[in-house]
Amino acid sequence: MDTISFPDWSKTDLSSYYDYYILPSRKPIAPIVSSRGCRLKCSFCSTPNVWRGSYRLRSIPNIMDEIDMLLTEYKVRFIIFQDDMLAMEVGRIEELSRSIIEKNYSDFKWMCILHPLSLGNDSARLMWLMKKAGCVLISFGLQSTNPEILKNIRRSPLEPQALENNIKNASKVGILTAVDFIFGLPGETSETIRESQRYALRTRPDFVNFHTFSFVPGAELDEKYKGCSYSSLNGFTKPELENICRRANLRFYFNPRVLFNTLKLIYKYAPEHLYSFLKDFILNIFNFFK
Residue 212 has what pLDDT?
Answer: 95
Q: Are strands 35-37 and 55-57 parallel, antiparallel or unpaired?
A: antiparallel
Residue 50 has what pLDDT?
Answer: 81
* β-bridge mates for residue 135, sequence order: 110
Residue 225 has what pLDDT?
Answer: 85
Roughly what angle, to the nearest 10 degrees, separates helices 190-203 and 238-254? 20
Is the residue at 31 inside a domain?
Answer: yes
How many domains does the chain divide into? 1
What is the domain-level CATH number for residue 56?
Answer: 3.80.30.20
Determine if residue 172 is left, alpha or beta; phi over 0 gives left, psi from -120 to 50 gives alpha, anything else beta.
alpha
Does the predicted TM-score (pTM) go above 0.85?
Answer: yes
CA 80 to chain CA mean position, Å: 11
Is the residue at 204 inside a domain?
Answer: yes
Residue type, 141: G
Is the residue at 88 inside a domain?
Answer: yes
Report in angstroms the alpha-carbon separations of 59 from 35, 79, 226.
9, 17, 39
Is the residue at 248 inside a domain?
Answer: yes
Residue 55 has what pLDDT?
Answer: 86
Residue 224 has what pLDDT?
Answer: 87
Is the residue at 285 inside a domain?
Answer: no
Q: What is the DSSP string of 1-16?
A: -TTSPPP--TTS-GGG
Is the residue at 276 inside a domain?
Answer: no
Domain that includes residue 160, residue range: 14-254
Residue 281 has what pLDDT?
Answer: 67
Residue type, 104: N
CA 282 to chain CA mean position, Å: 27
* β-bridge mates for residue 137, sequence order: 111, 176
Is the residue at 261 inside a domain?
Answer: no
CA 251 to chain CA mean position, Å: 20
Tens place of pLDDT per residue across the chain (290 aa): 889 999 999 998 888 887 766 777 888 999 999 998 888 889 999 888 887 778 889 999 999 999 999 999 999 999 999 999 898 889 999 999 999 999 999 889 999 999 999 998 999 999 999 999 999 999 999 999 999 999 999 999 999 999 999 999 999 999 999 999 999 999 999 999 999 999 999 999 999 999 999 888 888 998 888 877 777 778 899 999 999 999 999 999 989 999 899 888 888 887 877 777 777 766 766 665 55
Q: Contact at 8 Å (CB) between 29 and 78? A: yes
Is the residue at 275 inside a domain?
Answer: no
